[in-house]
A = this chain, B = another copy of it.
């Protein structure tokens, strides 16, 4: 089934205790795409500048991404994020943001993508997320991400979005900010009441919690010896989840739970090294083996 992602394609400059990477491929949609490409073809809506490498566009296409919804602004430069992780690497410190072409861009879904059955709305203004979703016909299975800025600045629109989506993915900090509840299980319950069928709370190296009408489910992260750069883990998680679901055509709780195990595994790939490098090293077969190993590690 067709899978659409709307999000950022970017350059990242990142420093972690394990090294530094200058102006490497990043962005929420990018990590999502690389993760989802193990499972299914995808459609991308986003924007880059004239400085974006042609080879990377080609690489995306080779991975099954339809880039006909990607605007290439001949007069602009690609969005560039600079950040740093210190200590336990649980949160990035943003050192600089050059919005560049993202500054005036408002995502819009081309006609040919409006029949998408699965939609991932990466972090963006909730107005844009709502408009994107409204432009997709039928009843797509939709999952959205958000961030602290929108929770604080656009609570009403975010509330509207919660009523339109099937699932919300967010982290601990965001869940607490959105609900005012410190306890994560209570926070999950509060968000559920505001609309979505399910909520996935991403806890980074501590795994994830799934909240839905049927109860609360907990999954640990893949135990990793090497974590060099956590950037993109959340989007890679969403990519594995949505890629798996789109590849099966399912949207049941059972499928979502299975998808979460794939999301956990694609997130574990993302953090092993800077940028999308690890996805280039880990092929489909290796990913399947890692997923088997993960299931063995969590079957108690």
Give the interface of A toward B (CB within 8 A).
Answer: 88, 182-186, 189, 203, 206-207, 209, 215-227, 257-258, 260-261, 293, 295-300
Other A-B pairs, 13, CB within 8 Å; known A215-B297, A218-B223, A219-B220: A88-B182, A183-B224, A183-B227, A185-B224, A206-B206, A207-B207, A209-B223, A216-B223, A216-B297, A217-B298, A218-B297, A218-B298, A298-B300
Minimum C-beta distance from A295 to chain B (A): 8
Asked whether B223 lies within 8 Å of A220 as measured between CB atoms, the reply is no
Minimum C-beta distance from A161 to chain B (A): 25
Asked whether A296 lies within 8 Å of B186 as measured between CB atoms, the reply is no
Which residues on B sit within 8 Å (CB–CB) of A261? 300
**Closest B-chain residue to A17, C-beta based?**
B182
Minimum C-beta distance from A1 to chain B (A): 22
Which residues on B sit within 8 Å (CB–CB) of A222? 218
Q: Which 4 A-B pairs have the closest CB atoms?
A: A218-B220, A206-B206, A216-B223, A185-B225
**Closest B-chain residue to A183, C-beta based?**
B225
* Complex partner residue of A260 from B258, B293, B300, CB under 8 angstroms: B300
Asked whether A207 lies within 8 Å of B206 as measured between CB atoms, the reply is yes
14 A-B contacts (beta carbon < 8 Å): A183-B225, A183-B226, A184-B223, A206-B207, A215-B293, A215-B297, A216-B223, A217-B223, A217-B298, A217-B300, A218-B220, A218-B222, A258-B300, A295-B300
Asked whether A206 lies within 8 Å of B203 as measured between CB atoms, the reply is yes
Q: How far is the CA of A297 from the CA of B88 in the complex (A)?
A: 28
Which residues on B sit within 8 Å (CB–CB) of A185? 223-225
**Closest B-chain residue to A204, C-beta based?**
B206
Which residues on B sit within 8 Å (CB–CB) of A182? 88
Q: How far is the CA of A182 from the CA of B226 in the complex (A)?
A: 11
* Complex partner residue of A298 from B189, B258, B298, CB under 8 angstroms: B298
Q: How far is the CA of A206 from the CA of B90 in the complex (A)?
A: 14
